[in-house]
Structure 1
């Protein structure tokens, strides 16, 4: 929003300073490197953790073929999406990320509404992916108890309280260790790589039973889902699609990186490539030693990975040791997702698009973090976790809405870029060249299909407890967005402030004249 808010002064008592929204806006500290951004993206995707916690989704919908080849398919698609976003990010590197790109790529007439819609999609996506990661981490911690006490079945309160405990840990790390994000993200990459190697060796060495290569690479059984065989495969792709969602979230840290137009695009694409390869290395040995599917799916809290490790190793201590590797990755993932969510909240609030923006757009330079944006993100996740009291399938709903919101927020600027004949990215330092149109169109087509797929229940017939409430959560946030737009946004929101200040020189020649007219009208 151009010049709508005046900069505040420094408050010596708490170290908070209002980030101005005019030409004198202070840049954020540039403490992050390309490796750190790649590590953060890799941490958010958290491949072994993401694939483990959503394993039941793909085992219900096709088993080995869906698990392995679904992962390969979605990895290739995600590479295309990441490359499409990286091409745009190289031209417009800013903390606003996809909602800023949607504004910059749209015509002046639709710039504000395009930015508003995309901004709310990415904001809700950031919140709900953080929610789903931390919620499943809580479930995973409770599943560790089941290893030693087979009769233990966590109740609703225990699950929610454990989720809140995980949120508290991730919030505290973000608030008090933000200056060490470079180190944490580097440790995360090393820990994940070492964990996958350890899991691969231990599972293959200790397994008493091994499945055949035909089972691993060609076994397909969709009978548990109730869906037609072909459709069931696509419903099961939620496992892979959910795991491979975090790469676009790191765009919100562009303003904290030196040379973001070069470093962030590379980090986004490389992190997806690393994630894809890591997933294959993890899934193939896991499928070779996978126990009977019906036993796995009978786990009360829906998190069977601890049971799998215990059955394969034949030891409760061995199962717990392997599960501990996944739990550490999970905490890295929750912390990284909350980092991105807090920056996204801060950036969108800075443009006046969230109720209470003046508070959420404050930056604590002492802690080096948008503290109130962090606390708001954490609080919303904690409140959404209460949905679990009404539905045991709440986790699937969180996964679905996170995937839908992030995918559509990624797809919107790519679609606008196609409609504008890709003029804005012709001089991108990360150009897709002659393959640009094909990659862009393929990714948008997939995103449209995924919106339908990931609103589907895991299996049919559907009960109230097993219903996928992703569409309900999605519509709830859409209602808040529309109401706030009617109350305030349509009067004051003109898109990201950079559209009319820092980004004017990035417009195409046709847009510059329109931009000057709009600036005069605002005055």
Structure 2
């Protein structure tokens, strides 16, 4: 058999695994060139990938979950202006992330990319930081979204029984844990079924959002709509409960948009399951960020426009101002019918978030970043998905929700923690890419999604780094003064605590087995396949 004929055959990379790659498949060759054996089936189409990217943000369900925060802390105008301010900043972060994901399409996402963007002697310490921040943020994201969904279902039960249903922490946490187990079971499906399930999420998500917008505008009498000064102006700035200056209280409204528009790199974590990943994954991220930002702003404007008296929303028995507005305008039955789809959208968020987080745990374990001897870095040979990592992630995600049994304030800090930890894990590789751009050990090769070498990419990078530092400070502050044990914002304490403990462990023992994101192929095989791929990229006419 000639060498040309062999190139068209599937090559087993490592006999101890079910992994195979095809030398005629650019996705697999790109992955092998980065040093990793293909271990997943590429079943996610362009539609499924875009749907995944939209679903991870949630849009209407994420806004509904966090709507009380900007409304009660900064007032109606905070809901509207903080959203578009944060969304514009998120555009720069989303574009910067998409650029790196396009260059390094692996399930480790920005964690794996971080090793390629720094000199060799920094790879372990930087990879360790990005890995732990990213896992912490994703776990917090799963937990906070599922916790929000449990509260949304409880709010519906309260409304359905005309306020007679008593919501207790025990009921919320019990439902929260049960829902996470259901998501663990669904995520245990093979990639083919996950892709089929995911591709319909975007239609429910966007369909529900536009249904809410149209219904509220149609059912709200013109005379009862709030004036522009209430929606956009000074009449909508209300600071009655925080104890902080009004300007700072207004900025607390950023929590909604930053919590909604985060986990951008979730699509990167399924890139080893995506067809034409270097194109599809970053494109899906960018489309979803733009779409969520603009449509979310429209939704917030309409909800505030039709919201009714602010005093009634602040003393709501259901605990959800968003649901109360729907009840006010379309009645109990109509509101609960719409709310069922909002809850379904939140269900989709957790489904996609758990899939992404489990792939991150898989990648980190594969690189020996966990004290598990690579146990969670293995795929099930039947489903070709990381079942061990899926169930580990599921059970660990239950732990933050248990905080509600001790303190609702501590539980709510998980929402801030999500945005802080994830966004910090994003700006580290973005910062490193710029700082070490001319270092001989660093060779950043742009992917298909690239903002160029000029001012545009640099401006986006500087803006998103500066913005993330700013919101990290904002989200570290307690939302209410005076500060007591019951009003303390524990998000910064948890974030710093996890990172300090992680580095203590690293310097005490983990540095012996963790050297940063690393190849799981034999060097000779990596070299042969990489050279073949680079030759074909450099001289495509010789291999036509």
Q: What TM-score results when the alignment is normalised by the length of structure 1?
A: 0.88
CA contact (8 A) 1:61 1:222 kept: yes
Q: Distance in 1 between matches of 2:320 and 2:411?
A: 11
Q: Are 1:317 and 2:317 counterparts? A: no
Q: 1:374 matched to which residue of 2?
A: 390
Q: 1:396 matched to which residue of 2?
A: 412
Deviations 1:336-361 (A, max 9, x none): 11111111111111111012143211
Q: In the TM superposition, what is the alpha-carbon distance from 1:260 to its structure 2 partner?
A: 1.5
Q: Are 1:176 and 2:193 counterparts? A: no
CA contact (8 A) 1:391 1:466 kept: no
Q: In the TM superposition, what is the alpha-carbon distance from 1:391 to its structure 2 partner?
A: 0.9
Q: Distance in 1 between matches of 2:158 and 2:479?
A: 24
Q: 1:512 matched to which residue of 2?
A: none
Q: Distance in 2 between matches of 1:177 and 1:294?
A: 49
Q: Distance in 1 between matches of 2:488 and 2:356?
A: 29
Unmatched 5+ stretches in structure 2: 1-13, 19-31, 531-544
Q: 1:25 matched to which residue of 2?
A: 37
Q: 1:106 matched to which residue of 2?
A: 118
Q: Distance in 2 between matches of 1:50 and 1:94?
A: 27
Q: In the TM superposition, what is the alpha-carbon distance from 1:255 to its structure 2 partner?
A: 1.2
Deviations 1:400-447 (A, max 9, x none): 111111000000001111212478556442221221111111110011
Match of 1:430 among 449, 453, 458: 449
Q: Distance in 1 between matches of 2:80 and 2:381?
A: 45
Q: Distance in 2 between matches of 1:24 and 1:446?
A: 34
Q: 2:276 matched to which residue of 1?
A: 259
Q: 1:304 matched to which residue of 2?
A: 321
Q: Distance in 1 between matches of 2:470 and 2:506?
A: 28
CA contact (8 A) 1:60 1:458 kept: no
Q: Distance in 1 between matches of 2:398 and 2:133?
A: 19
Q: 1:383 matched to which residue of 2?
A: 399
Q: 1:519 matched to which residue of 2?
A: none
Match of 1:59 among 71, 76, 84: 71
Q: Are 1:196 and 2:209 counterparts? A: yes
Q: 2:199 matched to which residue of 1?
A: 186
Q: 2:305 matched to which residue of 1?
A: 288
Q: 1:132 matched to which residue of 2?
A: 144
Q: 1:156 matched to which residue of 2?
A: 169
CA contact (8 A) 1:136 1:395 kept: no
Distance 1:64 1:490, change over 3 A: same
Q: In the TM superposition, what is the alpha-carbon distance from 1:369 to its structure 2 partner?
A: 2.0
SS, match of residue 362 in structure 1: coil
Deviations 1:56-84 (A, max 9, x none): 11112322322112111111111111111
CA contact (8 A) 1:62 1:220 kept: yes
SS, match of residue 483 in structure 2: coil
Match of 2:246 among 221, 224, 229: 229
CA contact (8 A) 2:424 2:468 kept: yes
Q: In the TM superposition, what is the alpha-carbon distance from 1:196 to its structure 2 partner?
A: 1.4
Match of 1:489 among 502, 505, 510: 510
Distance 1:443 1:9, change over 3 A: closer
Of structures 1 and 2, the larger Rg is shown by 2
Q: Are 1:275 and 2:287 counterparts? A: no
Number of positions where the alignment pairs a residue of Structure 1 with one of Structure 2: 491
Q: What TM-score results when the alignment is normalised by the length of structure 2?
A: 0.85
Q: In the TM superposition, what is the alpha-carbon distance from 1:177 to its structure 2 partner?
A: 6.0
CA RMSD, Structure 1 to Structure 2 (Å): 2.5
Match of 1:213 among 220, 223, 228: 228
Structure 1, 294-303 or 151-160: larger mean CA deviation? 294-303
Q: Distance in 2 between matches of 1:460 and 1:65?
A: 21
